[in-house]
Amino acid sequence: MKETFEFGGKIVWRPTSEQVEQANLTRFMKLHGIENFGALMKHSTEDVAWFTDALLKFLNIEFYEPYEQVVDLSKGIAWPQWCVKGKMNIIHNCLDKYMGTPTEHQSALISEAEDGTVRSMTYGELYREVNKVANALHELGLGLGDPIGIFMPMIPEIAVALLAIAKIGGIILPLFSGFGVNAIIDRLGDAKAKAIFTVDASYRRGKIVPMKVVADEAADGIPSLTHMIVLRQTHASTKMMEGRDYWWDELIKHQSESSPTEITDAETTMMIIYTSGTTGLAKGAVHTHCGFPIKSAQDMAFGTDLKPGEIIYWMTDMGWMMGPWLVFGALLLGGTFFLYDGAPDYPGPGRLWEIVEKHKISILGVSPTLIRLLMTHGEDPVKTHDLSSLRYFASTGEPWNPDPWMWLFEKVGKKRIPVMNYSGGTEISGGIVMGNPLLPLKACAFSGPCPGIDADVFDEDGNPIRNQVGELVIKSPWIGMTRGFWKDPERYERAYWSRWENVWVHGDFAAIDSDGLWYILGRSDDIIKVAGKRFGPAEAESILVSHPAVAEAATIGVPHEIKLNELVVFCVLLPGVSPSEELREELKQAVAIAMGKPLTPRDVLFVSDLPKTRNAKVMRRMIRAAYLGEDPGDTSSLVNPEAVDEIKRAR
């Protein structure tokens, strides 16, 4: 791969001396006599055991029995054992240890429903609710090693359920709240779930969305599932199955507010998060008590700089990695996490900024797609709200285009609030690369790898490269890495460890520019090769969304006899803009002028929406399959599967 990397530009944000001095990262480095971020990266990647031990102490992670060895690599780099012989339960560190301290009376969570209803829980209140649900689970005969699904909207009880399952030593199986029957069966059936938490129904854009009926139909296809705990959310008419179904309130009303926390091995499986692949069934990434939560708290502390008592809101669903990440990370740091159950632009485009002002959010996590959507409404919905509580934006889910990044930074953040871009994945337990409060930023860039992540960019021969696009890799283990795929170790090794010996190949194309800033350019399987040139879809999409008529765009490569592939682009137009042949030709020429005539799109197709997951990731592989008349695969992760059908009709 020889193409020169030209994405980047000038530095647009530098931290103030106050931001640097007060950063969690600075405090960590001072504790260990480390002078700068570069020295930290060197020390943390060359001595993973030292860094992990220092991190656990920095986060004040308490063990019932201390570990004898930080990491054991005797089974190979793909299968490290962490906190060897240590005994712990992450819930002790999230809740139990705060009882009797000032943190007990601090807000642990704040939530808002789409109708404006606000609820909150202190650490003490959350602790007691978790204990009551844990006791209820014990009463049902559930305990250590039992897999339990969660199929609920983003309401306080979803966090209670998550924490209660971990407290009893069970295995959390978080599900996307918009899943259909087959997706639930595939995941809970694979894990042999014994129980599931759900609600009668939820609300979305003012309408009731049934959930219990979906869970009922799924349960018929999961022989292992014998218990269903149902929360009354909408008081919709609900059929209950005697002997299997229990109302949440009736099950816990007589439970004690005290409950022992199960003492588990540090490496006891705590959670399985299923992630869709390009082929086959979803794969279950296995996470442990001393793994996923520790990495979550590290990235939240070092990247978003969350401090005790501050409020962090990341727009996500509990079925995606960022849901559990939000809960575990905030609680381990003594912060407050915010949940919103509803559409971010309902009933109007200012809803997100209203939430920030109303609840004094400190850190706001968004997606590029959401910002592109909100941009279409202009600056007025932003200007009417006081966003002075915000210290940092953060983002994840997909690569940025420069225009929306700059809009968020300049128009919303007034050049004061940086965008801490964050990229990694479910199998990482967080980020490979991330912004941080110590280093400058360019539009769309990452400051660098997260501490402890020995990341690099390789060419096709496995050599490190700079100022060129290559494969994102990791060369050393880290505590958050998945402990493999559930009951499928061979698939795990094939997926990440089969290309180069002892190197994790993540499946993203990336680049490092001459100033040392990093960029993620999309999934490797999204990369398009036209007439010998490789490029990421974001390059063409950036050109398209900069056009005043275009709100969103997606680019795919389709087969061509001579050029191997040629481009087809899909555009969502701004409100009030009508498709036309003139506009189609104008957009084709815009790409051709900017990227060269060989990259002129074969076609520009206008659609009303692009297929996206709940965390707003545009699923280009599904777009391509639909356009080519192929099976798009598992569409259960989409919030708008009808968008796939529209693409089929548009071709």
Q: What is the pLDDT of residue 601?
A: 92
Ranking 134-143, 242-251, 291-300, 607-616 by mean pLDDT, the lowest is 607-616
Taken as a whole, the chain contains a residue count of 651
Q: What is the pLDDT of residue 235?
A: 83
Which of 421, 469, 547 lies closest to 12, judged by CA?
421
Mean of all residue pLDDT scores within the chain: 92
Quick one: what percent of the chain has pLDDT higher than 70? 94
Q: Is the dihedral of CA 539, 544, 547, 552 positive or negative?
A: negative
What does the pLDDT average to over 629-646?
84
pLDDT greater than 70 at residue 525: no
pLDDT greater than 50 at residue 2: no
The confidence band for 278, taking pLDDT boundaries of 50, 70 and 90, is very low
Q: In what order do the strands lie in the sheet with 311-314?
A: 118-122, 107-113, 336-341, 311-314, 363-366, 392-395, 419-425, 430-434, 448-449
Question: Cα dist. 584→569, 580, 621 in Å?
Answer: 10, 6, 23
Q: What is the pLDDT of residue 597?
A: 74
Count other Cβ atoms within 10 Å, centred on residue 13.
Answer: 18
Q: What is the pLDDT of residue 630?
A: 87
What does the pLDDT average to over 386-399?
93
Q: Give the DSSP letter string of 4-72.
A: BP-----EEE---HHHHHH-HHHHHHHHTT--SHHHHHHHHHH-HHHHHHHHHHHTT---SB--SEEEE
What does the pLDDT average to over 575-584?
94
Q: What is the pLDDT of residue 5?
A: 43
The string of pLDDT tens digits covering residues 226-238 is 999 999 999 888 9
Q: What is the pLDDT of residue 7?
A: 54
Query: What residues have CB less than 8 Å from 369, skipping those under 6 apart?
Result: 397, 398, 552, 612, 616, 617, 618
Residue 223 preceded by cis peptide, ω within 30: no
Q: What is the pLDDT of residue 124?
A: 98
CB 524 within 8 A of CB 471: yes
What tokens were used for 22?
Answer: 């007060």
Quick one: what percent of the chain has pLDDT higher than 90? 78
Segment (H or E) for 181:
helix 181-191
Q: What is the pLDDT of residue 524?
A: 67
Please give the domain boundaries of the chain with CATH numbers for all domains: 11-96+267-523 (3.40.50.12780), 123-259 (3.40.50.980), 525-650 (3.30.300.30)
What does the pLDDT average to over 106-120?
97
What does the pLDDT average to over 162-172?
98
pLDDT greater than 90 at residue 523: no
612 beta partners: 618
pLDDT greater than 60 at residue 445: yes
The confidence band for 615, taking pLDDT boundaries of 50, 70 and 90, is low
Q: What is the pLDDT of residue 279?
A: 46
What tokens were used for 305?
Answer: 């700089």
pLDDT greater than 80 at residue 322: yes
The confidence band for 183, taking pLDDT boundaries of 50, 70 and 90, is confident
